[in-house]
Amino acid sequence: MNLKQLEVFLWVAELKGFTKAAKRLYMSQPAVSFQIQSLEEFLGVKLFWRNEKNVILTEAGKLLFEQAKQIVAHFYKIKSVVNDLKELKTGSLTIGASTIPGEYILPKLIGDFRRQFPGIQINVRIAGSAQVEKWLLNREIDLGFCGTLISGKEIECLPFLTDHLVLIAPVDHPWEAGGEIKISDLVKEKFVLRESGSGTRKTFETSLARSNISKEQLSIVMEMGSTRAVITAVEAGLGVSVVSFLAARDPLLLGLIKEIRVHNLDLNRKLYVIRDQSWMSNFAAETFHSFIFTQENNLLFS
């Protein structure tokens, strides 16, 4: 038994004739008769009584008629739902992101994406880069955005944006705003930093290591799980810090903190989008992944 046989059966029953059904289905009458005969053989019962004027459903035919309508309707409902998913008329997307992509980049990207695909429900979970990687490996998210390069056999990690970190200090700090200090001056200061595992923290420590300064040489007076909290702590005079310019831009413009340049310290880093290639992701995730690499968005974030 197959869907074609059920559809032919329904049309014969509705139109009460093989010839009428054949015309409606653009089939020959023998082809219609063959479909009904095959269905009857499969079920082992007669479905129609035939007379000179029309055909009449048997008891078994009446029972099948009600069930077949539901089966065919359900089939087309499934087909419609799947097509909606493929065409992104509906669906869901769960994203895990570290602080900088999650708070300063994704809102704009998601807004642009949903203007094209308003039926997609998007959920964003924000944590440190290490946690985002765990979420991906546990298949709790479809895509991840983080500030560190993730390596793994099945993980695809692609850079999508260059992020510039800046050294910030309270406005009353002796360092001159816009001035330049030596790397060795950093070990004399008190730092308020993101927690271990943060992409920002790792980038800063890696940059220092290239200049032969270990993280143990820093005086870290406070660790915080939020970049905004770090900036607020610097505003309050609790220490200096290194954060993404994306997060510091507005406080700098408002004069709440000041930026200090560090001679020969490279604080640029890549932000990455990650996905697990070992399992099938959904249509929305694949489309959003392609969307962030469009020329328009590359120009936006360059």
The tens digit of pLDDT for each residue in 232-275 reads 999 999 999 999 999 999 999 999 999 999 999 999 999 999 99
Task: Give the CATH number of domain 91-160+270-301.
Answer: 3.40.190.10
pLDDT at 295: 47
Tell me the pLDDT band of 299, cut-offs 50, 70 and 90.
very low
- Count of helix runs (H) and strand runs (E) in the chain: 12, 12
Residues β-bridged to residue 241: 168
For the chain, first and last CA: distance in Å?
58
Decide which of 76 and 181 is more confident. Answer: 181
Neighbours of 75 (CB within 10 A): 13
Per-residue model confidence as pLDDT tens digits over 31-45 = 999 999 999 999 999
Q: 3-84 has which CATH code? A: 1.10.10.10
Kindly give the interhelix angle for 283-291 and 106-116, rounded to the nearest 10 degrees: 120
Kindly report each contact of residues 72-77 with a partner whose C-beta sits within 8 Å and lies 24 or more positions away, as own/partner: 72/3, 72/6, 72/7, 72/10, 75/3
**One fold for both 3-84 and 164-269?**
no
* Extents of the domains making up the chain: 3-84, 91-160+270-301, 164-269
The candidate with the shortest Cα–Cα distance to 212, out of 247, 188, 187, is 187
Output 25 or 296, whichever has higher pLDDT. 25
| Residue 300 reports pLDDT greater than 60 | no
Which residues lie across from 190 on neighbouring strands?
219
Do 191 and 221 meet the contact criterion of CB atoms below 8 Å apart? Answer: yes
SS3 159: strand
Residue 49 has pLDDT above 50, yes or no: yes
Please state, in angstroms and rounded to a whole number, the distance separating the CA atoms of residues 250 and 158.
28
Task: Summarize pLDDT for 62-107 with one digit per residue, the tens.
Answer: 999 999 999 988 888 877 777 766 667 778 899 999 999 999 999 9
What does pLDDT average to over the chain? 89
In this prediction, residue 290 has a pLDDT band, given cuts at 50, 70 and 90, of: confident
pLDDT of 166 > 90? The answer is yes
Rg (CA), the chain: 32
Whether residue 184 contacts residue 264, with contact meaning beta carbons closer than 8 Å, is answered with no
CB 274 within 8 A of CB 133: yes
User: Hey, what CATH class is 164-269 in?
Assistant: alpha beta
